[in-house]
């Protein structure tokens, strides 16, 4: 290992990641929804380790863990998140937090480096209660009214209740201090197959796609599944199924080369086997890094809905509930990652967009931001079998620490 | 009113129906799921009224309320159910119970009638925990193992727990005594538009259709909704939507004149907006009074599933979870209803099959059974706005009481 990575300890990185994996373990992954008991224990675990990196830890009023340094010189903010999707992988989030912790441990105690790495674990990146709640709160974009209205998408527990249960009610929410940080760096597993299938080790993220999300509601007439003849039914569930198929049949002719769309949840109301659903709802998502493509697809979606409504059997309402703006990663930061990769990953890096959303896209609205990816085995993500080779985890960590050094050196 | 309906009290019938509607009221209907607090209160309400009809009341170990008479002579069993679907109508169930109560009040105290009407409210006809649990228990067709395994489809509360919460755990389950009853009579709202649209007042039910129910499970690969390209996805939810549409497109060419089919519930797993569902499930139901038609449709369903599985993107598993045998109503009982209708409903009756399932189909397996329908306004059913004109309720009640008299007279 070259001199610039003096103090880097790969065993410590793997031990920390496995310690977090043991909190809320599920098969080879974890089940650590936001403000679940294992999630809160993970926040405490991190807060107790930050002093090892010369950082003063705070868990704030939205569940962010932030470690601040008193060292003189420039400050680089680095981190990711600690909660998981339900029954999901062990690295999605913790990898970036532990890379940041390791960088802080190595750099903050090094008298030859001017400046420090500060560590953050942003709460609820996975969107159990909202989307990017923690990082948006830090960026000043979350109101008290939004917190009042939010609840857990799986259990309906109100966010206020969850904050009380976690002992965080009434705490202040930390906000970014103007000009404190030269920028933000985040590492993450790729969650796709690009790196693995090309034998590459580092993805230098160029942009993060925007996510547009819709609640599409179908209204028909609820009735008895035995006594209502097929000819007179207004079955909202069937209208929904036809709509899903129509989307999938028509989007390919209109989308861009990397557009993806997903129906992640369907609810029929009342959802009983002997009742024709009078109401049905789907959560639908489109991702792209080109707003023009999204605009075209959304217009098509609304036309399709109007057509179905005009046929008068069921009405369709398309409501946009999330508007994603693609985020461009800082060019100088991208160069620093690539330079570190040239030395510590044999140059096996590639510039690529991120199809997944990350806190870095929120931080990018208030400071220079960048991301690096490490390979995902089989591209599996948001599933407990998600994994990355230990060797790739360590290569990524070394590149991350070196990138931090380069960024602080200006 | 003719002499044979001496003692019939229409005001009392409407007052009783409205008393039950006030327990668990929801808008103009009720929300009274099986073993909810208002359902249990309704069982107690009935048990307290049965002595007015000369009956000894028992609430048994599955939640059936049965009133027995010590009067000499033949016994006719009559009833329906007291729980409702979620947020559903006030008459679906209670109408038949109150008709039976009124018949028992009128007839059991009449020294000129030999024999008595005995009253039953069968538990869980609406299938919150199973299907026809109460009447099947009475017919000897429910095992303790089935009770062990059952749970509320909305809340997952185990049936054993619900029975404990209701104070019914450990009570014996009543079973039909051989040769005690000459038969079973049940009244119900039509839940369709046949009577209303023809200006008729009484439906004489000829048969009750069979219900075949299926759990159809789609297995694909769960993955990240942002990083997984459309071309490599194995989206179980999309496969389900395409299957629903394919059913609706192909069944009309294969079905009988009165076949109906319904997808009442869809579940995507894990059901999060940013995850491609790896598993999806639908509850699917077919109803017909011709088993040959069902057999043809089920074979088609299984062929469709095999075709999808052969295309190797998602696999489909079709599991039949309920097998309905159509029930034929007793011919002499049908004649008695028609004769009563000729006198008390101006002959405005029609013979018709029932597209809905009823406890009468279970009782039909152990004794002669029959049903009469009254009109439903707009055919609306399984919805809180379900209703029937008071005048039609009273006509139906008078015909019901007179039918009981005729049946006891042999």
Q: Is B376 exposed, middle or buried (0-12, 13-18, 19+ CB in 10 A)?
A: buried
What pLDDT sits at residue B2? 45
Instruction: Output the CA torsion A373→A377→A381→A383 (10° steps).
Output: -150
The residue of chain A with its CA nearest to that of B189 is: A227
Instruction: Write out the two tokens for A136.
Output: 């948006």
Q: Find all residues with CB under 8 Å of A22, minimum gap 6, and list them.
A: none
- CA of A31, closest CA in chain B: separation in Å? 13
Distance from C-alpha of B260 to C-alpha of B252, rounded to nearest angstrom: 10
Query: A100-122: buried (b, 16+ CB within 10 Å) or exposed (e) per residue?
Result: bbbbbbbbbeeeebebbbbbbbb
Instruction: Output the CA torsion B145→B150→B156→B161 (10° steps).
Output: -60
Spatial contact of B171 and B61, defined as CB atoms under 8 Å apart: yes
Long-range CB contacts (within 8 A, 24+) of A67-73: A67/A104, A67/A118, A67/A119, A67/A120, A68/A118, A69/A104, A69/A108, A69/A116, A69/A117, A69/A118, A71/A108, A71/A115, A71/A116, A72/A114, A72/A115, A73/A113, A73/A114, A73/A115, A73/A116, A73/A408
Distance from C-alpha of B246 to C-alpha of B265, rounded to nearest angstrom: 17
Set out the domains of chain B in order of their start, with CATH numbers. 3-208+326-408 (3.40.630.10), 210-322 (3.30.70.360)
Instruction: Write out the two tokens for A367.
Output: 């400071």
Parts of chain B with a pLDDT under 50: 1-2
Query: What residues in B contact A269, CB-CB < 8 Å?
Result: none
B211 inside 8 A of chain A by CB: yes
Spatial contact of A195 and A395, defined as CB atoms under 8 Å apart: no
pLDDT by residue, tens only, chain A of 410 residues: 345 588 999 999 999 999 999 999 999 999 999 999 999 999 999 999 999 999 999 999 999 999 999 999 999 999 999 999 999 999 999 999 999 999 999 999 999 999 999 999 999 999 999 989 999 999 999 999 999 999 998 899 999 999 999 999 999 999 999 999 999 999 999 998 899 999 999 999 999 999 999 999 999 999 999 989 899 999 999 999 999 999 999 999 999 998 999 999 999 999 999 899 999 999 999 999 888 999 999 999 999 999 999 988 999 999 999 988 889 999 999 999 999 999 999 999 999 999 999 999 999 999 999 999 999 999 988 899 999 999 999 999 999 999 999 999 98
Query: Which of B226, B251, B284, B376 should we substitute to test contact with A (largest number of A Cβ atoms within 10 Å)?
Result: B226
What pLDDT sits at residue B1? 39
147-166 in chain B: CB under 8 A from chain A? 153
As a whole number of Å, the end-to-end CA separation of chain A is 22
Query: Which of B93, B225, B256 should we substitute to test contact with A (largest number of A Cβ atoms within 10 Å)?
Result: B225
Task: Give the β-pairing of B181-189 and B210-219.
Answer: unpaired
Long-range CB contacts (within 8 A, 24+) of B154-158: B154/B33, B154/B86, B154/B128, B157/B35
What pLDDT sits at residue A4? 59
The residue of chain B with its CA nearest to that of A376 is: B227
Helices (H), B235-372: 236-250, 291-310, 331-344, 359-363
pLDDT (tens digit per residue) in B282-322: 999 999 988 899 999 999 999 999 999 998 899 999 999 99
Q: State the number of CA atoms in the 13 A half-sphere of A281 facing the CB.
A: 10
What are the φ and ψ backbone dihedral angles of B91, each rounded to 5 degrees? -100, -20
Supply the mean pLDDT for chain B.
Answer: 95
Spatial contact of A251 and A288, defined as CB atoms under 8 Å apart: no
Q: Is A203 exposed, middle or buried (0-12, 13-18, 19+ CB in 10 A)?
A: buried
What pLDDT sits at residue A289? 86
Q: Which of B230, B357, B379 is closest, CB to CB, to A228?
A: B379
Measuring CA to CA, which residue among A202, A248, A222, A217 is closest to residue A401?
A: A202
Query: What residues in B contact A383, CB-CB < 8 Å?
Result: 222-223, 278
Query: What residues in B contact A275, CB-CB < 8 Å?
Result: 85, 262, 264, 382
- CA of B384, closest CA in chain A: separation in Å? 10
Query: Token pair 């008071």 is at which residue?
Result: B390
The residue of chain B with its CA nearest to that of A282 is: B273
What pLDDT sits at residue B4? 59
Spatial contact of A69 and A55, defined as CB atoms under 8 Å apart: yes
- Interface contact B226-A240, CB threshold 8 A: no
Q: Find all residues with CB under 8 Å of A1, minimum gap 6, and list them.
A: A8, A398
Query: What residues in B contact A267, CB-CB < 8 Å?
Result: 266
Long-range CB contacts (within 8 A, 24+) of B24-30: B24/B84, B26/B87, B26/B384, B27/B87, B27/B384, B27/B385, B28/B90, B28/B384, B28/B385, B28/B387, B29/B84, B29/B87, B29/B88, B29/B89, B29/B90, B29/B383, B29/B384, B29/B385, B29/B386, B30/B84, B30/B88, B30/B89, B30/B90, B30/B384
């Amino acid at each position: 290992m070259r001199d610039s990575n003096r103090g880097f300890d790969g065993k410590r990185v793997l031990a920390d990641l496995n310690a977090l994996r043991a909190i809320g373990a599920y098969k080879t992954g974890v089940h650590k929804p936001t403000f679940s008991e294992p999630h809160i224990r993970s926040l405490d675990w991190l807060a107790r380790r930050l002093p090892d990196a010369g950082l003063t830890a705070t868990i704030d009023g939205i569940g962010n863990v932030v470690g601040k340094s008193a060292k003189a010189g420039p400050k680089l903010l680095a981190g990711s998140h600690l909660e998981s999707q339900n029954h999901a992988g062990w690295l999605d989030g913790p990898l970036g937090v532990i890379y940041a912790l390791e960088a802080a441990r190595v750099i903050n105690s090094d008298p030859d480096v001017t400046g420090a790495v500060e560590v953050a674990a942003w709460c609820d990146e996975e969107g159990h209660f909202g989307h990017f709640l923690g990082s948006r709160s830090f960026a000043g974009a979350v109101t008290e009214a939004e917190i009042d209205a939010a609840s857990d998408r799986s259990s309906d527990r109100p966010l206020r209740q969850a904050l009380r249960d976690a002992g965080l009610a009434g705490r202040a929410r930390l906000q970014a201090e103007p000009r404190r940080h030269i920028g933000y760096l985040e590492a993450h597993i790729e969650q796709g197959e690009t790196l693995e299938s090309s034998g590459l080790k580092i993805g230098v993220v160029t942009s993060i796609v925007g996510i547009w999300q819709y609640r599409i509601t179908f209204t028909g007439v609820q009735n008895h599944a035995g006594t209502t003849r097929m000819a007179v039914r207004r079955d909202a569930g069937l209208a929904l199924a036809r709509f899903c198929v129509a989307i999938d049949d028509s989007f390919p002719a209109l989308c861009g080369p990397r557009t993806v769309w997903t129906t992640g949840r369907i609810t029929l109301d009342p959802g009983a086997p002997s009742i024709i659903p009078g109401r049905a709802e789907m959560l639908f998502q489109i991702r792209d890094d080109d707003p023009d493509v999204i605009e075209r697809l959304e217009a098509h979606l609304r036309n399709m809905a109007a057509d179905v409504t005009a046929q008068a059997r069921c009405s369709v309402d398309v409501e946009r509930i999330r508007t994603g703006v693609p985020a461009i990663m800082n060019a100088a930061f991208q160069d620093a990652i690539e330079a570190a990769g040239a030395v510590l990953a044999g140059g096996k890096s590639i510039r690529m967009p991120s199809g997944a959303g990350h806190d870095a896209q929120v931080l990018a609205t208030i400071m220079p931001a960048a991301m690096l990816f490490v390979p995902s085995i089989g591209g599996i993500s948001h599933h407990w079998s998600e994994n990355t080779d230990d060797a790739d985890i360590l290569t990524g960590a070394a590149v991350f620490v070196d990138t931090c050094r380069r960024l602080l050196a200006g």
